[in-house]
């Protein structure tokens, strides 16, 4: 009756119900080709020599499609093997403004922010185009 299950999953059949439920509810890494490509591209970015012109990678897709899982898995793998942290995940709350995004980056990097609001600093540095447009 359980021959359709993988061996490592079949072992959970004899465990306590709480353990089985926890296993079923745990997030799963499904290494589909797009996820593998994203990991390879992220690894390529980390292996590049340091330069003034850095590159990044933006993961774009519909809500609840695995973007965060791809980034988190890559960051965890990186932290396990790297002697120095070179990857951070910055995910501000949905609908947050540019100031909150910048503050999230500074917080992730543990940079001192000081007593002035990052959002206030950012709002002064935004350039609107066209110049007559005061709402940006």
- Going residue by residue through the chain (136 aa), what tens digit of pLDDT does each one get? 788 888 888 888 889 999 999 998 987 777 788 888 988 998 888 888 888 777 777 788 888 888 888 888 888 888 888 888 888 777 777 777 777 778 878 887 788 766 556 655 555 544 444 444 444 4
Q: Are residues 113 and 74 in the same domain?
A: no
Q: Could you give the C-alpha distances from 69 to 30, 35, 38, in angstroms and in order?
A: 10, 9, 11
> Last residue of some domain: 71, 89, 107?
89
- Let me know whether 61 and 17 are in one domain: yes
Model confidence, pTM: 0.56
CA distance 77 to 81: 7
End position of a domain, from candidates 89, 111, 128: 89
State the residue range of the domain holding 75: 1-89
| Number of domains observed in the structure of the chain | 2
23 and 49 belong to one structural domain:
yes
Same domain, 81 and 96: no
pLDDT of residue 136: 44
Cβ count near 13 (within 10 Å): 10
Q: Is there a single domain that holds both residue 3 and residue 53?
A: yes
- Cα separation, 125 vs 128, in Å, equals 10
């Amino acid at each position: 009756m359980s021959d359709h299950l993988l061996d490592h999953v079949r072992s959970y059949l004899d465990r306590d119900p709480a353990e089985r439920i926890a296993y079923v509810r745990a997030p799963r890494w499904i290494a589909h080709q797009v996820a593998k490509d994203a990991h390879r591209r992220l690894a390529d970015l980390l292996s590049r020599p340091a330069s003034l012109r850095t590159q990044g990678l933006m993961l774009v897709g519909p809500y609840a499609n695995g973007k965060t899982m791809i980034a988190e898995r890559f960051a965890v793998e990186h932290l396990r093997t790297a002697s120095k942290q070179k990857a951070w995940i910055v995910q501000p709350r949905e609908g947050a403004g540019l100031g909150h995004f910048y503050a999230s980056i500074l917080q992730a990097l543990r940079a001192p922010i000081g007593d002035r609001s990052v959002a206030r600093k950012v709002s002064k540095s935004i350039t609107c185009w066209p110049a007559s447009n005061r709402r940006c």
